């Protein structure tokens, strides 16, 4: 049997995180999780948080069980009414496996909340580096972790057995002096390249110079800076329970959507796709 190459070099990821000094995106994601929990008409007494940064949760959820985002999560089954997976699933070797383990740790009608970087994250950097490397070396090397698209991530929640799955995203645009400043900030976040298939030697200076120029040409701002996109996807699901709300069967609605919205109903044009 052929052994699949791992996505992530786990020791490199741990080293990157140990050097992290910049937390603004992670704090923003944690703030958003807390706001969402305030809107849930429930109190949670047994909480587990899967996170690489337990220090950022100490003043928020002091009684929570803190768990490292290892391949096998240290979560006893059916022990919690809330599991939070904190901005780390984009590095998971088996994303669905992490979701399944989280669901199994929940009691019936327990809530799962996860944040992770989505597919729009660093699209500018991915494009500039790819173009520069292809132009100069004639090939491409893995530099930015593949990140799930929001339309697919909701389906993964269903696949993992969650009820009432929801995926939504928050897109943040940050400006930097240039692409090199962005890359320095990524290292400061602990989000540097930890792909197992990454180059194990420094990138050629000509590639970096070309990528920096391409980035400025295509993603520059009028004031001479460049933009970078970060998409934080939030996944929400519930451990199935008999007393939960259930979605209606297709075609079972008793009121037309057009009537509910107070607008005329227009037939679809068969000539459009």
Instruction: Classify each residue of 6-33 as buried b or exposed e, where b means 16 or more C-beta atoms within 10 Å of its C-beta.
Output: ebbbbebbeebbeebeebebbebbbeeb
Burial status of residue 140 (CB atoms within 10 A of its CB: 0-12, 13-18, 19 or more): exposed
Would the pLDDT of 110 be above 90? yes
CB 91 within 8 A of CB 8: yes
118-167, pLDDT tens digit by residue?
999 999 999 999 999 999 998 888 899 889 999 899 999 999 999 999 99
pLDDT at residue number 242: 83
Burial status of residue 195 (CB atoms within 10 A of its CB: 0-12, 13-18, 19 or more): buried
Q: β-strand 47-50 against 163-176: which pairing, if any?
A: unpaired
- Beta carbons within 8 Å of 188's beta carbon, 6+ residues apart: 19, 20, 21, 22
Q: 115 by DSSP, 3-state: which?
A: strand
What pTM value is reported for the model? 0.86
Helices (H) and strands (E) counted in the chain, each on its own, are 8, 6
Q: CA 144 to CA 212: how far, in whole Å?
A: 16
Count the neighbouring beta carbons within 10 Å of the beta carbon of residue 111: 22
pLDDT at residue number 255: 63
Would the pLDDT of 77 be above 70? yes
Nearest to 92 by CA among 111, 115, 113, 112: 115
Count the neighbouring beta carbons within 10 Å of the beta carbon of residue 263: 9
Q: CA 249 to CA 119: how far, in whole Å?
A: 31
200-216, pLDDT tens digit by residue?
888 899 999 999 999 99
Q: β-strand 163-176 against 226-238: which pairing, if any?
A: antiparallel
Q: CA 121 to CA 90: how far, in whole Å?
A: 11
Q: 107 by DSSP, 3-state: which?
A: strand
Q: CA 231 to CA 173: how far, in whole Å?
A: 9
């Amino acid at each position: 049997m052929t052994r699949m190459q791992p996505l992530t070099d786990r020791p490199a990821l741990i080293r990157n995180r140990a050097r992290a000094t910049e937390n603004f995106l992670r704090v923003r994601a944690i703030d958003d999780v807390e706001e969402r929990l305030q809107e849930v008409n429930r109190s949670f007494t047994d909480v587990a948080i899967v996170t690489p940064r337990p220090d950022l949760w100490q003043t928020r959820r002091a009684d929570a069980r803190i768990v490292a985002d290892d391949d096998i999560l240290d979560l006893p089954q059916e022990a919690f009414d809330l599991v939070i997976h904190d901005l780390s699933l984009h590095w998971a070797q088996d994303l669905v496996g992490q979701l399944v383990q989280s669901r199994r740790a929940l009691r019936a009608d327990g809530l799962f909340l996860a944040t992770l970087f989505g597919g729009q994250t660093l699209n500018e950097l991915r494009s500039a580096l790819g173009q520069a490397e292809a132009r100069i070396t004639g090939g491409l090397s893995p530099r930015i972790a593949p990140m799930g698209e929001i339309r697919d991530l909701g389906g993964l929640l269903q696949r993992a057995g969650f009820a009432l799955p929801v995926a939504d995203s928050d897109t943040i645009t940050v400006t930097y002096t240039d692409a090199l400043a962005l890359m320095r900030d990524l290292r400061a976040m602990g989000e540097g390249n930890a792909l197992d298939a990454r180059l194990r030697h420094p990138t050629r200076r000509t590639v970096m110079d070309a990528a920096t120029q391409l980035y400025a040409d295509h993603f520059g701002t009028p004031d001479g800076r460049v933009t970078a996109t970060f998409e934080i996807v939030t996944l929400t699901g519930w451990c199935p329970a008999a007393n939960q709300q259930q979605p209606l069967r297709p075609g079972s609605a008793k009121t037309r959507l057009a009537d509910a919205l107070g607008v005329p109903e227009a037939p679809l044009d068969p000539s459009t796709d």
